[in-house]
Structure 1
Amino acid sequence: MEIRLNYKDANMPALRAMLAFEQFAQSTTIDKVLSELIKIRVSQINGCAFCLDMHSKDLLKLGDYQEQLTLVCVWREAPVFTEQQRAALELAEYVTKISEAGVPDEVFGRVKEHFDEKEIVDLLMAINAINCWNRLAISTGMFPGCMG
């Protein structure tokens, strides 16, 4: 396999903009495990093998989260996720598929039960950052191991 385009080499200012976005998303108070779970779930929905591979490995570097990694695609049926994680994962799914149903009030209400307004914005930024990375990776043909 070959990537279609190396966006890092093709347009450094664009890469710097994405890295600044990512740096902000990583600087928030969102739990690192939750952040990785969001990245994994969004990458599953978008079908981004490159990001799914990267963030699965990143989650496992944080500790013994194999069960959460295995079950994040079916988080609604899996008892290994906290209510806070469930609310964030649900928000991530709706934001990722926003053209289908928007973000329903009841979903936003569940998020507000577990996060304050600043944290909700932080969650939205994290969700949007991984969606941007997914779209760059998929569009340019990135795949696991292509950059290593």
Structure 2
Amino acid sequence: MSQRLDHFAIAPELFGPMLSQEDVLKTAGLEHSLVELVKLRASQINGCAFCIHMHTHDARAHGETEDRMHLLNAWRESSLYSPRERAALGWTEALTRLADTGAPDADYAAIAEEFTEREQIALSLLIAAINSWNRIAVGFRTPHPVASSS
């Protein structure tokens, strides 16, 4: 796989609004561990190696366990996730696969039970944002960093 173009090098100013949104979302009241799980799960669904690499490293640096990251693809079958995380992951999958799911009432009911209305908006914006980042990285074939082998 070859990178098609370096979007940040060519048009960094076009990413200003997306980067600003990331800063706003950091202070929106969602816990960091939940944010990273959501970003990682959407990136898994979208097959974004760059984002999977970034968010596993960031989650690990903030104390996320290897088991929870490894089992994220099977979160519905694992007891490692809280009801709040499960609701967020279901909503992440529903919005990431919107054309297939139509954002089911059951998934919305789950987030409505676990999140305030403001948090529901923040979570939905977070999901929309990571899906945008995934589409840019996958579309331009942004390579993930590779550890040097010595």
TM over 0.5: yes
Provide the residue aligned with 2:59 in structure 1.
Answer: 59
Once the two structures are superposed, residues 93-128 of structure 1 have per-residue CA deviations (whole angstroms, 9 ceiling, x without a partner) of: 000010112111111011111001000001001111
Whole-Å Cα distance in 2 between the matches of residues 41 and 15 of structure 1?
23
C-alpha distance in 2 between matches for 1:21 and 1:69: 25
The CA deviation at 1:64 is 4.4
How many Å separate the matches in 2 of 1:142 and 1:12?
Answer: 15
C-alpha contact (below 8 Å) 1:40/1:55 kept by paired residues: yes
User: Where do 1:1-148 residues align within 5 Å?
Assistant: 1-145=1-145
Are the counterparts in 1 of residues 42 and 93 from structure 2 also a CA contact under 8 Å? yes
Aligned-residue CA RMSD (Å): 1.2
**2-structure distance, mates of 1:132, 1:109:** 25
Relative to the length of structure 1, the TM-score reads 0.94
Q: Distance in 2 between matches of 1:29 and 1:64?
A: 18
Structure 2 unpaired stretches of 5+:
none
The verdict on how the C-alpha distance between 1:95 and 1:64 changes in structure 2, with shifts beyond 3 A counting, is closer
Q: Is the 8 A contact 1:7 1:15 kept in 2?
A: no
CA distance in 1, matches of 2:67, 2:33: 13
Q: How far apart are the structure 2 equivalents of 1:2 and 1:44? A: 20
Letter in 2 for 1:110: A
Matched residue pairs, number?
A: 146
- Percent identical across equivalent pairs? 34
SS of alignment partner, residue 30 of structure 2? coil
Q: Distance in 1 between matches of 2:48 and 2:90?
A: 19
